């Protein structure tokens, strides 16, 4: 899974604390907890600890959260918990609070230890990637398993008898996100995990599909091994892939910034060396499926296309808590708000591999976190054009997740501690709106044609023909 926030190294000697508050997926101290039934009064305490923990850490809780809805949900959730529950059962109740925080960096993580255990035992989650647009939910690439095929452009109608719209409507309650559009985009990105955590679907799937006007039901079970079809040219990867689209245009897909910076830097140098060899005049950088990661990697990519010194943000505000206040609270006391103008300008890459041609960056609803930072850096510094669809999150966003466990269930919560303002200093609460807004065509999706990429490629062909 792609990591969903900025994470920085935290050294015990420097900050006077362990780095556990930055560890997203630690193991349970006692794996037996996965099978235990926890008393309702203890689960009620976990609910209070979840909400209190977010309030103590979030830098603008009242500005983000729908507090009236949250308070009502807390009362309803406690009222519905009258018997002992396992962690998995409890998540289906308490997890619904996440959407009321209205922040993509603040939510309760699904009980991943149980899911990992099931997978090690041979259970297989939902095996296909999906794309969500206003036209519906589609499988964008072709898959094969033995003598079966799932064709690219197939529209998902239902899974295990549940309409796909019902699945998204319910599952979006279990993720963070400033808007419902962003939450639903996150559901698509975390689809296999949430199908299990929210609905219990794993190992057996009856998928109703529509392809080229024909309805069919595909039965999937643990005996099958689905894979990308041999003819499929689109690479699904946690890292990036480069290919030349034609003699003048290159395409770089960056699915995540959650890559170790030195590794990312080495790969970038290799890729931009290839771009130079290809002598392309324009480069399309695709971050439509990029939910973020490490800002150092986003910075490194920006250096390859920058034509002047730049900064990633203009202002940072941090709320201090017991974990991030520093050694002997040198930053301040828990609860203090620390605001700093960001004057750390980064120079363009001084290398023969620096790219000087036309740049278009593709964005979409799930472009988030460090990917939004990259998009606003490109837009505010005029390093290129943005194209595609507006982001589901805001240009000025929360950041720097801290994590903590609930005391009895040990379910893990993720919460933002910082606020960022985009490089231009415009503090308006709005999505990142592309310079070229392009909607997906239903006909294109049914035929597995990338509407956005085709439009951008056509525009670049016209621009380059004039040179």
pLDDT tens per residue across span 67-77: 999 999 999 99
What is the mean pLDDT of the segment spanning 335-364? 96
Q: What pLDDT does 329 receive?
A: 62
Task: Indicate the average pLDDT of the chain.
Answer: 92
Homologous superfamily of 240-464: 2-enoyl-CoA Hydratase; Chain A, domain 1 (3.90.226.10)
Q: Is 160 exposed, middle or buried (0-12, 13-18, 19+ CB in 10 A)?
A: middle
Q: Are 125 and 195 contacting, i.e. CB atoms less than 8 angstroms apart?
A: yes
Return the CATH fold of 131-228: Pdz3 Domain (2.30.42)
Domain extent listing, the chain: 131-228, 240-464
Judge whether 131-228 and 240-464 match in fold.
no
From the centroid of its chain, how far is CA 457? 26
What is the mean pLDDT of the segment spanning 99-122? 98
Rounded to whole angstroms, the Cα distance separating 218 from 267 reads 39
Q: Please check the confidence at residue 357 and state whether its pLDDT lies above 60.
A: yes
Q: What pLDDT does 22 receive?
A: 78
Q: Please check the confidence at residue 335 and state whether its pLDDT lies above 50.
A: yes
Task: Locate 133 and state its tokens.
Answer: 């647009």
In this prediction, residue 330 has a pLDDT band, given cuts at 50, 70 and 90, of confident
Q: In what order do the strands lie in the sheet with 148-150?
A: 148-150, 143-145, 227-228
Rg of the chain, C-alpha, whole Å = 23
- Which residue, among 241, 346, 363, has the nearest Cα to 296 in the 3D structure? 346
Rounded to whole angstroms, the Cα distance separating 423 from 342 reads 9
Q: What is the pLDDT of residues 150-170, one digit of tens each?
A: 999 999 999 999 999 999 999
Task: Locate 422 and state its tokens.
Answer: 């985009």
Task: Locate 398 and state its tokens.
Answer: 């929360």
């Amino acid at each position: 899974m792609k990591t969903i926030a900025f994470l920085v190294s935290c050294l015990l000697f420097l900050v006077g604390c362990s780095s556990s508050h930055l560890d997203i997926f630690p193991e349970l101290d006692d794996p037996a907890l996965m099978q235990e039934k926890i008393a309702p009064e203890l689960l009620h305490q976990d609910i209070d600890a979840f909400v209190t923990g977010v309030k103590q850490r979030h830098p603008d809780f009242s500005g983000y959260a729908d507090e009236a809805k949250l308070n009502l949900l807390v009362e309803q959730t406690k009222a519905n918990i009258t018997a002992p529950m396992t962690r998995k059962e409890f998540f289906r109740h308490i997890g619904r609070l996440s959407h009321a925080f209205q922040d993509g960096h603040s939510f309760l993580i699904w009980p991943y230890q149980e899911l990992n255990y099931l997978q090690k035992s041979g259970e297989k989650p939902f095996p296909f990637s999906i794309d969500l647009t206003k036209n519906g939910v589609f499988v964008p690439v072709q898959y094969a398993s033995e003598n079966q095929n799932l064709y690219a452009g197939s529209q998902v109608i239902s899974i295990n008898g549940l309409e796909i719209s019902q699945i998204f409507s319910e599952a979006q309650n279990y993720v963070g996100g400033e808007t419902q559009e962003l939450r639903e985009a996150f559901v698509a990105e975390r689809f296999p995990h949430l199908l299990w955590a929210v609905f219990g679907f794993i190992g057996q799937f009856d998928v109703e599909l529509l392809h080229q006007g024909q309805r069919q039901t595909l039965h999937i079970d643990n005996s099958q091994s689905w894979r990308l079809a041999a003819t499929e040219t689109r690479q699904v990867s946690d890292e990036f892939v480069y290919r030349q689209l034609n003699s003048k245009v290159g395409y770089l897909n960056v699915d995540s910034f959650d890559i170790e910076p030195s590794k990312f830097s080495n790969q970038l140098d290799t890729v931009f060396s290839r771009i130079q060899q290809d002598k392309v005049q324009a480069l399309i950088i695709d971050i439509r499926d990029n939910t973020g990661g490490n800002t150092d990697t986003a910075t490194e990519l920006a250096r390859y296309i920058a034509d002047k010194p730049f900064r990633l943000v203009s202002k940072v505000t941090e709320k201090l808590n017991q974990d991030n206040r520093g050694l002997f609270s040198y930053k301040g006391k828990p609860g203090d708000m620390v605001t700093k103008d960001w004057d750390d300008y980064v120079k363009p890459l001084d290398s023969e591999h620096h790219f000087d041609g036309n740049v278009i960056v593709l964005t979409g609803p799930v472009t988030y976190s460090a990917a939004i930072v990259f998009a606003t850096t490109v837009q505010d510094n005029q390093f290129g054009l943005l194209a595609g669809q507006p982001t589901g999150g805001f240009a000025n966003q929360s950041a720097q997740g801290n994590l903590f466990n609930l005391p009895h269930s040990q379910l893990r919560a993720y919460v933002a501690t910082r606020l960022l303002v985009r490089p231009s200093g415009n503090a308006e609460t709005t999505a990142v709106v592309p310079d070229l807004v392009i909607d997906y065509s239903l006909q294109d999706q049914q035929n597995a044609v990338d509407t956005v990429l085709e439009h951008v490629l056509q525009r670049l062909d016209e621009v380059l023909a004039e040179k």
